[in-house]
Amino acid sequence: MLYFLLFLIKLKKINCNGKLLSYEKPLIMGVLNITPDSFYADSRAIVKDILLKKTAQFIQQGVDIIDIGAVSTRPNAKKYASENEEIDRISTALDILTKEFPKLTFSCDTFRAKVVDIVVKNYRIAIINDISGGTFDHDLLKTVIKWQVPYVLSHTKGDLTSMHLKTNYTNFIAELLYFFSEKIAELRSMGLNDIIIDPGFGFAKTIDQNFELLKKIAYLRTFDCPIMVGLSRKSMFYKTFNTTPEESLNGTSVANFFALQGGAKIIRVHDVKEAKETSAIFNKLHI
């Protein structure tokens, strides 16, 4: 088993339900929000026809992973969906999508252990994408370990209603690196093999801290885990230019290119076509 794990690390692959997903070249993760209140309206897919249309479009544009979320996790949320609402939304969507697109690699954006149990057991979801780093539901990490599903470990502080207030750091980058060092060691000791790290742009970070993090993204390479970034149309762009999420594609593309230069291996986006083109240009210049 040890030799097999070393083999996977050397080849830069993630084990997704027995399918080895290579990140030798950057992967594109497309966002599908099964919610009525996500910050970017065009990402919402709460009607069956829209859900199927957007998924087919993502596939045609070259998506590698589709990330489905049923709770809006935007900072400063006043209210978010209950566990039962999340389960109902995600199950309804996956009933449709896994039958229509059985070979597609899906991840689930959730911070709840019960949801992990359902989506992995019933739908063989390949990746769990948790914005909380296991802090919102203390059973989540144990559930991920139980299923041995690749896990996106993200950095944040506080919860969905308070994270925007938790931006005081003595040494921002050092504290973020310490968080990942401790959490990765914990997950390894619990027996998890596939760990993806996400620095959590926009979560418990000011605009200036987001740009500092982007500037120093290469520091995360020390952990020898694939780095995922979720920069797509975030407030660090539209607040900088006093515009809107709808007007933030250009900033997103520039930032994604910079993140790829710093070592990011997965870019999570609302706009697959543009991200694929960004990745293609990066590959031409660097591979």
Predicted confidence (pLDDT) per residue in 121-158, tens digit = 999 999 999 999 999 999 999 999 999 999 999 999 98
Model confidence at 45, in pLDDT bands (50, 70, 90)?
A: low
- Cα-based torsion angle of the residue sequence 90, 93, 94, 96 in order, rounded to the nearest 10 degrees: 160
Residue 55 has pLDDT above 50, yes or no: yes
The pLDDT, as a whole number, for residue 37 is 58
The pLDDT, as a whole number, for residue 164 is 82
Residue pair 246/284 in contact (Cβ under 8 Å)? The answer is: no
Residue pair 56/163 in contact (Cβ under 8 Å)? The answer is: no
Residue 2 has pLDDT above 60, yes or no: no
pTM score, whole prediction: 0.91
Structure tokens at 136: 């919102």
Residue-averaged pLDDT of the chain: 91
Model confidence at 10, in pLDDT bands (50, 70, 90)?
A: low
Residue pair 204/156 in contact (Cβ under 8 Å)? The answer is: yes
Residue 257 φ/ψ, nearest 5 degrees? -60, -45
pLDDT tens-digit readout, 98-122: 999 999 999 999 999 999 999 999 9
Structure tokens at 284: 């031409």
Q: Per-residue DSSP letters for the chain?
A: -HHHHHHHHHHTEEEETTEEEE-SS-EEEEEEE-SS--SSGGGB--SHHHHHHHHHHHHHTT-SEEEEESS---TT-S----HHHHHHHHHHHHHHHHHH-TTS-EEEE---HHHHHHHHHHH---EEEETTTT-S-TTHHHHHHHHT--EEEE---S-TTTGGG----SSHHHHHHHHHHHHHHHHHHHT---EEEE--TTSS--HHHHHHHHHTGGGGGGG-S-EEE--TT-HHHHTTTT--GGG-HHHHHHHHHHHHHTTEEEEEES-HHHHHHHHHHHHHHH-
Of 53, 60, 54, nearest in space to 40 by CA = 54
Written as one letter, the residue type at 174 is A
Model confidence at 282, in pLDDT bands (50, 70, 90)?
A: very high
Residue 96 CB-density burial (10 A; 0-12 exposed, 13-18 middle, 19+ buried): middle
C-alpha to C-alpha distances, 124 to 18, 50, 96, 130, 150, nearest whole angstrom: 11, 23, 14, 17, 12
The pLDDT, as a whole number, for residue 231 is 97
Ordered by where they begin, the domains of the chain are: 25-286 (3.20.20.20)
Cα Rg of the chain, angstroms: 18
Written as one letter, the residue type at 229 is V
**Interatomic CA distance for residues 166 and 145, integer angstroms:** 28
**Interatomic CA distance for residues 256 and 35, integer angstroms:** 25
